[in-house]
């Protein structure tokens, strides 16, 4: 009996659909923490915030299903089953994104408050789409998916027994599961964050404050129309030019003038505030700071992995920084009262600064900087030099010259 041959045009459509699912699954699997955060956002949006404890499980399972479906379609594994599940999968998300688009429209134009998720997270952090773009994207994708569904009988299954086919599908599921586990325990192998290696975080998050200069106004004792306006440096040297200046002029006023306007960061909201309210971000994350800066990110002190915080390699690095007079700073979104208690309980020998956020609106800069809690980033002159999860904190001997 002659073997059925898949039409070339259908093969192209099938491979494109498979590639799309594989890419979508990969971009989320590479950062399972971000995928879990996305589920949290959906849960809050739909009034189901109590499901937060299962957000990571949901994210991991979703990534496995999506990637495995792409894997099965690519290798023609149980095509009839796969095509049907594909269609149901896309139909669900088409309806979901339709609701998100309509809800956002009602929020913006009619004042409804649905707490709509603004970015669907369809492609993780690799591609950002608003709700309208996501809805249109799903309509477009639905077309080739339906084409494959209608013509699924023309696509022959891979030449394996049913057990072999399901075993092959399991290979795809295990691949993406192991990949997610690695990226979760360490860091995403593809970093889509604004704190990836080589990124200028000084320009991105810190900016520069306005530079002001004091001007001193002195008026002539006999002729009030004669006025001297001087900078601090000029005032210090005035008697070299006019020896009897203070006998002739008297102080009238002080003016503050802006020499250089403030340069605002591209993304507002990053601060490093100590318990007295002093802001340290500009002085530490600066092109002028010659010393390397180790920043230990701890998004939420209640969720910090204590094994990571108490690891011998991290303690050794903290001791080394103290000995060599290098900056080792912690930063968290937790409140100052929590910071104070946490430092005492865990006997932290380094400053721990606060970055204030709106717990609903963000911006979640500390949470998104490094997918590990705690996670470590090395910054040199405002540029990200290295970053590690707590499991990968380096030995002192392996660090390049600091």
Kindly report, residue by residue over 124-157, the tens digit of the pLDDT.
889 999 999 999 999 999 999 999 999 999 999 9
The pLDDT value given to residue 350 = 95
Q: What percentage of the chain carries pLDDT values higher than 70?
A: 98
Read off the tokens for 98.
């339709």
The pLDDT value given to residue 208 = 80
Q: What is the pLDDT averaged over residues 301-310?
A: 94
- Give the residue from 68, 243, 77, 74 showing the smallest Cα distance to 173: 68
The pLDDT value given to residue 2 = 46
Evaluate if pTM is beyond 0.85: no
- Give the residue from 291, 299, 285, 289 showing the smallest Cα distance to 355: 299
In the chain, DSSP finds a helix count (H) and a strand count (E) of 15, 8
Read off the tokens for 166.
């399901």
- Give the residue from 3, 162, 20, 143 showing the smallest Cα distance to 80: 162
The pLDDT value given to residue 121 = 87
In angstroms, the CA 391 to CA 311 distance is 8
- DSSP E strand boundaries for 154-308: 211-220, 227-231, 249-260, 293-298
Omega within 30 of 0 (cis) for the link into 176: no
Read off the tokens for 207.
């900016």
In angstroms, the CA 81 to CA 293 distance is 54
CATH 3.40.30.10 maps onto the chain at: 267-398
The lowest-confidence range among 113-117, 287-291, 370-374 is: 113-117
In angstroms, the CA 392 to CA 226 distance is 68
In angstroms, the CA 161 to CA 77 distance is 10
Q: What is the pLDDT averaged over residues 43-67?
A: 93
Confidence band (pLDDT; 50, 70, 90) for 263? confident
The pLDDT value given to residue 1 = 41
Burial of 160: CB neighbours in 10 Å, binned 0-12, 13-18, 19+: middle
The pLDDT value given to residue 92 = 95
CB 357 within 8 A of CB 364: yes
Q: What percentage of the chain carries pLDDT values higher than 90?
A: 80
Confidence band (pLDDT; 50, 70, 90) for 3? low
Q: What is the pLDDT averaged over residues 207-235?
A: 89
Looking at residue 229, the DSSP 8-state letter turns out to be E
In angstroms, the CA 174 to CA 258 distance is 61
298 contact partners, CB below 8 Å, separation of at least 6: 304, 309, 330, 331, 332, 334, 352, 366, 373, 374
Q: What is the pLDDT averaged over residues 203-215?
A: 85
Query: What rounded mean pLDDT belongs to the chain?
Result: 92
The pLDDT value given to residue 29 = 97
Q: What is the pLDDT averaged over residues 237-258?
A: 92
The lowest-confidence range among 95-109, 219-233, 257-271, 311-325 is: 257-271
- Flag whether pLDDT at 290 surpasses 60: yes
- Flag whether pLDDT at 259 surpasses 80: no
| Partners of 311 in beta bridges | none
CB 298 within 8 A of CB 389: no
- Flag whether pLDDT at 22 surpasses 60: yes
Most distant CA pair in the chain: distance in Å? 118
CB 91 within 8 A of CB 63: no
Q: What is the pLDDT averaged over residues 172-189?
A: 96
Confidence band (pLDDT; 50, 70, 90) for 360? confident
CATH node for 267-398? 3.40.30.10
């Amino acid at each position: 009996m002659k073997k059925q041959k898949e039409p070339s045009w259908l093969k192209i459509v099938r491979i494109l659909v498979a590639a799309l699912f594989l890419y979508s699954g990969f971009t989320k699997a590479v950062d399972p923490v971000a995928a879990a955060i996305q589920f949290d956002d959906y849960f809050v949006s739909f009034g189901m915030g109590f499901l937060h404890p299962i957000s990571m499980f949901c994210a991991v399972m979703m990534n496995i299903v999506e990637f495995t479906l792409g894997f099965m379609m690519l290798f023609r594994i149980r095509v009839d089953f796969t095509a049907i599940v594909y269609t149901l999968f896309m139909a669900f998300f088409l309806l979901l994104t339709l609701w998100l688009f309509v809800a956002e429209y009602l929020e913006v134009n009619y004042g409804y408050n649905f707490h709509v998720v603004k970015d669907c997270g369809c492609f993780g952090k690799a591609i950002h789409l608003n709700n309208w773009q996501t809805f249109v994207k799903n309509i477009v994708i639905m077309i080739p998916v339906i084409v494959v569904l209608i013509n699924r009988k023309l696509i022959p299954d891979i030449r394996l027994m049913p057990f072999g086919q399901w075993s092959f599908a399991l290979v795809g599921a295990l691949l993406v599961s192991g990949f997610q586990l690695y990226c979760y325990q360490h860091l995403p192998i593809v970093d889509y964050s604004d704190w990836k290696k080589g990124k200028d975080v000084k320009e991105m998050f810190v900016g520069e404050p306005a530079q002001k200069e004091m001007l001193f106004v002195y008026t002539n004792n006999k002729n009030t129309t004669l006025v001297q306006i001087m900078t601090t440096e000029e005032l210090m040297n005035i008697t070299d030019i006019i020896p009897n200046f203070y006998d002739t002029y008297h102080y009238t006023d002080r003016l503050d003038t802006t020499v250089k306007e403030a340069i605002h960061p591209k993304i507002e909201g990053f601060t490093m505030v100590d318990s007295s309210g002093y802001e340290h971000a500009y002085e530490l994350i600066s092109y002028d700071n010659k010393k390397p800066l180790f920043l230990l990110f701890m998004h939420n002190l209640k969720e910090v992995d204590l094994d990571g915080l108490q690891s011998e390699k991290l303690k050794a690095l903290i001791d080394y920084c103290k000995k060599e007079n290098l900056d080792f700073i912690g930063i968290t979104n937790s409140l100052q009262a929590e910071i104070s208690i946490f430092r005492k309980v865990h006997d932290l020998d380094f400053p721990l600064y606060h970055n204030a956020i709106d717990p609903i609106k963000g911006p979640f800069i500390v949470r998104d900087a490094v997918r590990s809690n705690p996670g470590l980033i090395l910054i040199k002159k405002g540029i990200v030099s290295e970053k590690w999860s707590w499991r990968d904190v380096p030995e002192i001997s392996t660090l390049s010259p600091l």
